[in-house]
């Protein structure tokens, strides 16, 4: 035991001290935050700019209304869109040519070309250098539609306001029923399931690779025999896997602290800049989901970690390892590909069976728990199956490891590995 | 008392015998060398002693006990495949390896400093292992082998890759350890090293032991039928003299095995005047000659047998 602790300590200190770990641990949440915050910021920031838009109104009945409708304001209270009407002097083509030039010269951000038959289904055109500002195009499109619809309704002698009320869509509120009652859900759970499962998947692969690389380094640097003169191969393997697990937990703990801090203060920060955002309820992770996440991370880590350790002991370098690692990694990728299916029908018999298969359980059972809490018997069964498989894998990997770690030269074939396992 | 007692061990890898029915005894407080050509089974034997691989048959007793984990801290081992964690600092690495052997931290620090000073490596303590030269790394490995003051020290090819200065340093430390009552087992090809410091030897060839025992006695067995000749000139005529059974000619130096009953004096008489003789010595055969003869014999037996 003392020896395992010594190995754990070495693994832990050596990895935690690397630049890679420090950068990854800090950069992880920063990147995560950036992914969420930057798009929002960009949207709000880039929009706050006055834009000049030309209008060629061939129907001669839209411009005034459009000018009234597009009354979005900037933060300083000025108009966001300044509309300018252009009329035909000689012919349409020449005018459009002129306007194209104005857009390219940045005199106008864009121009709108409204055909004569706009009320009868004619197609309006929006011409600009950049056509990916969906927010702006949406504003203009909506304004045009409502103007034309009103015109049509009035033409038929109908009151647009009343029609508007008649046409009001029905609101569909999604709620989630659980054993603790009914909760409002606006898709937050869905997002959380997705994010949790992806975090589990990525960290298991990431730490599995660290174990793999560690074993290969020990083997290729030939330090392993000195170490093995003091302890058993199993102790070395166990110490390595546990030490790297400790690194994983450290990283999770740091991220969790970031997360708690972020959810505490981000509300204030966000609402200061964008008052509207304060109304959106922050999705919360239920405590039981968090506990299961930890359990399944541990299970997944040890199941896959021991397999990676076994593979590492069979090969001479990382290049050789990649071929053998492929099938193992496939076991992790398959459940990720099955995610959407399981989310849509979490309690179908196929989903139940898939989530009980030990290699898939860490990802798929966690996913099912987050979408629709399955009966406890199923959760317990998947945990027990995974633990049993992990024990089997530890036994197999330890046998392979014990022989493989001292074998150099040609990568062993399947038959040879079976033979290794029989060595006393 | 034996520091190591091996009885009839055999190790197979598939159909290949790495070690076959090997027995040997290492008396406590002696220096014992394992000799043999490449692939003879020396490293496999040592690994079985270290409990890194398990023999298929036979038993091994280390310091009068079956090898177990507690035992491992009384044994120091320098493997043939040498390596260290390349990214660790020298001081840290030695501390880690001492901790595995159960040396207290404070005590380990003192011993590490003392050894680094002795090997002139004190200024490298905070450097990463990968920055060290091969020779320096070998010294670090040697320190790791003896840092826990083991009763039994097993060195697999300790002198390979060392320059003469460091070879002497290692040899001096080995003798020092012997004088402290420790037992040293080492494997090598370098016969002159063996002759100078070994008390006992074991010669292994093709997985089997061909010769074991006290070095002085073994030499005596072979008798004083060898002449060592240091000369200048053309000595090719010696080979055809009736007294000569076999020669090993190095150009300026010749080891001559005489036929039984022949007198070395006759040989000297015939050589005088034909070549310039700087030295003429009648002695036991060198270990080198015994080695070559024994290995040759067993190889012949194998080729004839198949």
Domain ranges of chain B: 2-74+150-219, 89-142, 220-305
Residues in chain A: 424
Answer yes or no: is A173 within a domain: no
The class level of CATH for B2-74+150-219 reads alpha beta
**pLDDT tens column, A207-221:** 999 999 999 999 888
DSSP-assigned letters across all residues of A211-262: HHHHHHHHHHTT-HHHHHTTS-HHHHHHHHHHHHHHHHHHHHHHHHHHHHHH
Taking an 8 Å cut-off on Cβ atoms, the answer to whether A423 and B54 are in contact is yes
Tally C-beta pairs within 8 A across A and B: 69
Cα A287 to Cα A138: distance, rounded to the nearest angstrom: 41
Residue A10 with chain B: CB contacts under 8 Å: 96
Question: Does residue A287 register a pLDDT over 90?
Answer: no
Mean pLDDT within A240-250: 93
* Among A273-282, A367-376, A414-423, B117-126, the least confident range: A273-282
Domain B220-305, CATH number (from 3.40.630, 1.10.287, 3.10.450, 3.30.70): 3.30.70
Select the residue of A221, A230, A424 nearest B72 (Cβ to Cβ).
Answer: A230
Residue A220 lies in a domain: yes
Structure tokens given for B17: 């015998």
Pairing of strands B31-35, B183-188: parallel
- A262 within domain boundaries: yes
Q: Phi, psi (5° rounding) for residue B255? A: -110, 120
State the pLDDT confidence band at B306, using cuts at 50, 70 and 90.
very low
- Which residues does chain B have within 8 Å of residue A6's beta carbon, measured at their own beta carbons? 96, 99-100
**Ranges of H-type helices in B158-237:** 164-179, 191-197, 215-222
User: Are A62 and A118 members of one domain?
Assistant: yes
Interface touch A229/B83, C-beta < 8 Å: no
Nearest to A1 by CA among A242, A208, A229, A322: A242
Nearest chain A residue to B89, by CA: A14
**Closest listed residue to residue A75, CA positions, set A51, A110, A45:** A45
Domain range for A401: 2-33+184-422
| ipTM of predicted assembly, 2 dp | 0.79
pLDDT exceeds 80 at position A178: no
Three-state DSSP at B244 gives strand
Length of chain B equals 306
With H, G, I as helix, E, B as strand and everything else as coil, classify residue B129: helix
Residues A202 and A331 in one domain: yes
| pLDDT exceeds 90 at position B179 | yes
- Boundary (domain end) residue, out of A166, A199, A219: A166
Say yes or no: A61 and A98 in one domain: yes
Of residues B30, B25, B4, B2, the one with CA closest to residue B180: B30
Q: How would you label B167-199 residue by residue, b for 16+ Cβ within 10 Å and e otherwise?
A: bebbbebbeebbeeebbbbbbbbbbebbeebbb
Cα(A35)–Cα(B163) distance, integer angstroms: 59
User: Residue B189 has what DSSP assignment?
Assistant: S
Lowest mean pLDDT among A89-93, A145-149, B31-35, B113-117: A89-93
Helices (H), A48-187: 63-69, 92-104, 134-155, 160-166
CA distance B158 to chain A (A): 14
Shared domain check, A115 and A60 = yes
- Note the pLDDT of residue B128: 93
| Residues A364 and A393 placed together within one structural domain of the fold | yes
Check if A162 contacts B (Cβ < 8 Å): no
Residue A400 within any structural domain of the chain: yes
Q: Among B77, B82, B88, whose Cβ lies nearest the Cβ of A222?
A: B82
A18 falls within a domain:
yes
Q: How far apart are CA B58 and CA A94, in angstroms?
A: 103
Are B96 and A6 a contacting pair at CB < 8 A? Answer: yes
- Gyration radius of chain B over CA positions: 22
Residues of A in contact with B72 (CB under 8 A): 229-231
Residue B141 has pLDDT above 90, yes or no: yes
CA-to-CA separations, B221 to A4, A385, B23, in angstroms, rounded:
51, 68, 21
Which of A7, A11, A226 is the best substitution to test chain B (most B C-beta atoms within 10 A)? A226
pLDDT band at B115 (very low <50, low <70, confident <90, very high): very high
Which H/E stretch holds residue A37?
A: helix A19-47
Measure the CA–CA gap between A134 and A203, rounded to whole angstroms: 36
Contact B179, B154 (CB under 8 A): no
Radius of gyration (C-alpha) of chain A in whole angstroms: 31
Tens digit of each residue's pLDDT (9 = 90 or more) over A54-85: 998 888 888 888 888 888 777 777 788 888 88
**Set of chain A residues whose Cβ sits within 8 Å of the Cβ of B128:** none
Q: Hey, do B2-74+150-219 and B220-305 end up sharing a CATH topology, with the first three levels equal? A: no
Nearest residue to A225 (alpha-carbon basis) of B90, B145, B66, B63: B145
Q: Which of A166, A201, A221 is the last residue of a domain?
A: A166
Same-domain check for residues A200 and A133: no
CB atoms closer than 10 angstroms to residue A60: 11
The answer to whether B54 and A190 are in contact (CB under 8 A) is no
The verdict on B47 touching A (C-beta cutoff 8 Å) is yes
| CB atoms B83 and A221 under 8 Å | yes
Closest to A398 in 3D by CA, of A390, A386, A410, A388: A390
Choice among A103-107, A250-254, B73-77, B296-300 with the minimum mean pLDDT = B296-300
Whether B306 has its CB under 8 Å from any CB of chain A: the answer is no
Within 10 angstroms of residue B303's Cβ, the number of other Cβ atoms is 8
Q: Where is average pLDDT lowest: A158-167, A215-224, A376-385, A409-418?
A: A409-418
pLDDT over 90 percentage in chain B:
43
CA nearest to A14 within chain B: B88
* Cα distances (Å, whole numbers) of residue A161 to A66, A145, A146, B146: 18, 15, 11, 95
Domains in chain A, number = 2
User: Cβ contacts (< 8 Å) between B52 and chain A: which residues?
Assistant: 225, 228-229, 406
Domain contains A179: no
Backbone torsions φ then ψ of A175, nearest 5 degrees: -130, 155
Q: Which residues of chain A have a CB within 8 Å of the CB of B77?
A: 225-226, 229
The answer to whether residues B31 and B172 touch, using CB atoms and an 8 Å cutoff, is: no
A45 assigned to some structural domain? no
Q: A63 near A83, Cβ under 8 Å?
A: yes
| Under 8 Å between Cβ of B152 and B183 | yes
| CB-based contact B83 A226, cutoff 8 Å | yes
Give the end of a domain, one of A137, A166, A195: A166
In the stretch 207-226 of chain B, residues with CB closer than 8 A to chain A read none
Alpha helices in B18-133 (DSSP H): 42-49, 69-72, 90-100, 105-118
Same domain, A415 and A377: yes
Q: Are B61 and B204 in contact (CB under 8 A)?
A: no
Contacts of B10 in chain A (CB under 8 A): none
Q: Please tell me what DSSP assigns to residue B200.
A: E
CATH number for A139: 3.40.190.10
Instruction: Calculate the CA B303 to chain-centre distance.
Output: 27
Best mutation target, B75, B76, B81, B145, to test chain A (most A CBs within 10 A):
B81
A252: closest CA of chain B, how far (Å): 25
Q: For residue range B243-270, what is the model confidence (pLDDT) as tens digits?
A: 888 888 888 989 888 888 888 888 888 8
Structure tokens at A92: 């349409």
Residue A25 sits in the same domain as residue A61: no
Per the CB < 8 Å rule, is B83 touching A2?
Answer: no
Q: Using a CB-CB distance cutoff of 8 angstroms, which residues of chain B are in contact with residue A227?
A: 97, 100
C-alpha B201/C-alpha B14 separation (Å) is 29
Regarding whether A237 and A132 lie in a shared domain, the answer is no
Mean pLDDT, residues A148-152: 86
| Residues of chain A numbered 232-291 and touching chain B (CB < 8 Å) | 232
- Taking residues B287-301, report their average pLDDT: 79
DSSP state string for B100-156: HTT--HHHHHHHHHHHHHHTT-GGGTTSBGGGS-HHHHHHHHHHHHHTT--SEEEEE
- Kindly state the average pLDDT of the residues A7-20: 91
Calculate how close chain A gets to B287, using CA atoms only, in Å: 31
Contacts of A263 (CB under 8 A, 6+ apart): A282
Six-digit token string for A415: 């038959």
Residue A162 lies in a domain: yes
Contact call for residues A32 and A254 (beta carbons, < 8 A): no
Residue A30 burial class via C-beta count within 10 angstroms: exposed 0-12, middle 13-18, buried 19 and up: exposed
Angle at B188 between CA B184 and CA B193, to 5 degrees: 75
Measured CA to CA, the distance from residue A372 to residue A352 in angstroms comes to 12
The two tokens of residue B56 are 């298929």
Q: Which residue has the higher pLDDT, A180 or A3?
A: A3
Which pLDDT score is estimated for B182?
Answer: 95
Q: Is A6 near chain B, with CB under 8 Å?
A: yes
**Integer Cα distance of A57 and A61 in angstroms:** 7
Q: Which residue of A has its CA nearest to B130?
A: A221
Q: What are phi and psi of A216, to 5 degrees?
A: -65, -40
Asked if the Cβ–Cβ distance from B83 to A223 is below 8 Å, we say yes
Residue B177: closest CA among B298, B31, B79: B31
């Amino acid at each position: 035991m003392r020896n395992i602790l010594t190995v754990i300590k070495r693994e832990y200190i050596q990895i935690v001290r690397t630049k890679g770990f420090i950068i990854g641990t800090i950069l992880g949440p920063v990147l995560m935050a950036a992914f969420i915050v930057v798009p929002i910021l960009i949207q709000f920031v880039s929009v706050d700019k006055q834009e000049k838009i030309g209008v060629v109104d061939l129907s001669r009945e839209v411009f005034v209304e459009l000018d009234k409708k597009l009354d979005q304001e900037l933060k300083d209270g000025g108009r966001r869109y300044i509309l300018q009407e252009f009329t035909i002097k000689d012919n349409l083509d020449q005018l459009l040519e002129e306007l194209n030039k104005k857009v390219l010269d940045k005199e106008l951000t864009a121009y709108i070309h409204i055909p004569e038959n706009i009320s009868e289904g004619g197609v309006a055109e929006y011409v600009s250098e950049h056509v990916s500002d969906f927010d702006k195009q949406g504003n203009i499109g909506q304004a045009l539609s409502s103007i034309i619809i009103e015109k049509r309704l009035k033409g038929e002698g109908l009151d647009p306001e009343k029609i508007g009320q008649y046409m009001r869509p029905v609101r569909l509120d999604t709620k989630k029923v659980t054993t603790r009652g009914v909760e409002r859900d606006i898709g937050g759970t869905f997002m959380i399931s997705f994010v949790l499962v992806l975090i589990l998947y990525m960290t298991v692969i990431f730490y599995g690779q660290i174990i793999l690389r560690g074993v290969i380094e020990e083997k290729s640097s030939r330090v392993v025999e000195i170490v093995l003169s003091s302890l058993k191969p199993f102790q070395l393997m166990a110490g390595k896997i546990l030490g790297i697990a400790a690194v994983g937990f450290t990283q999770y703990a740091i991220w969790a602290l970031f997360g708690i801090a972020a959810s505490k203060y981000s509300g204030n920060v966000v609402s200061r800049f964008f008052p509207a955002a304060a109304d959106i309820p922050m999705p919360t992770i239920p405590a039981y989901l968090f506990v299961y996440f930890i359990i399944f991370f541990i299970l997944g880590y040890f199941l896959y970690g021991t397999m990676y350790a076994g593979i590492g002991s069979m090969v001479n370098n990382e290049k050789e390892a990649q071929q053998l690692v492929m099938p193992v990694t496939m076991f992790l990728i398959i459940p990720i590909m099955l995610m959407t299916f399981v989310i849509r029908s979490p309690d179908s018999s196929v989903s139940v069976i898939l989530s009980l298969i030990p290699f898939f359980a860490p990802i798929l059972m966690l996913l099912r728990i987050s979408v629709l809490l399955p009966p406890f018997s199923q959760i317990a069964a998947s945990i027990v199956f995974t633990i049993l498989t992990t024990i089997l894998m530890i036994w197999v990997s330890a046998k392979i490891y014990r022989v493989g770690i001292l074998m150099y030269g040609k990568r062993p074939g399947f038959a040879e590995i079976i033979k290794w396992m029989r060595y006393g | 008392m034996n520091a190591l007692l091996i009885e009839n061990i055999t190790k197979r890898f598939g159909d290949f015998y790495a070690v076959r029915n090997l027995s040997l005894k290492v008396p406590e407080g002696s220096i014992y060398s394992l000799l043999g050509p490449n692939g003879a089974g020396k490293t496999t034997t040592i690994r079985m002693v270290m409990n890194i691989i398990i023999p298929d048959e036979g038993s091994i007793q280390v310091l009068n006990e079956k090898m177990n984990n507690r035992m491992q801290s009384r044994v120091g081992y320098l493997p043939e495949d040498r390596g260290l964690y390349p990214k660790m600092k020298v001081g840290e690495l030695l501390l880690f390896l001492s901790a595995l052997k159960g040396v207290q931290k404070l005590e380990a620090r003192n011993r590490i400093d003392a050894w680094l000073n002795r090997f002139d490596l004190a200024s490298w303590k905070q450097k990463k292992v990968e920055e060290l030269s091969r020779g320096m790394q070998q010294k670090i490995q040697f320190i790791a082998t003896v840092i826990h003051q083991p009763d039994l020290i097993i060195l697999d090819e300790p002198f390979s890759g060392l320059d003469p200065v460091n070879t002497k340093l290692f040899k001096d430390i080995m003798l020092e350890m012997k004088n402290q009552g420790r037992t040293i087992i080492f494997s090598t090809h370098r016969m002159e090293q063996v002759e100078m410091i070994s008390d006992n030897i074991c010669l292994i060839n093709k997985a089997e032991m061909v010769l074991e025992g006290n070095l002085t006695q073994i030499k005596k067995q072979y008798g004083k039928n060898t002449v060592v000749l240091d000369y200048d000139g053309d000595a090719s005529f010696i080979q055809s003299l009736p007294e000569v059974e076999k020669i090993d000619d190095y150009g300026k130096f010749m080891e001559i095995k005489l036929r039984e009953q022949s007198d070395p004096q006759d040989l000297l008489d015939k050589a005088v005047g034909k070549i310039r003789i700087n030295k003429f010595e009648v002695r036991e055969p060198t270990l080198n000659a015994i080695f070559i003869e024994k290995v040759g014999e067993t190889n012949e037996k194998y080729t004839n047998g198949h």
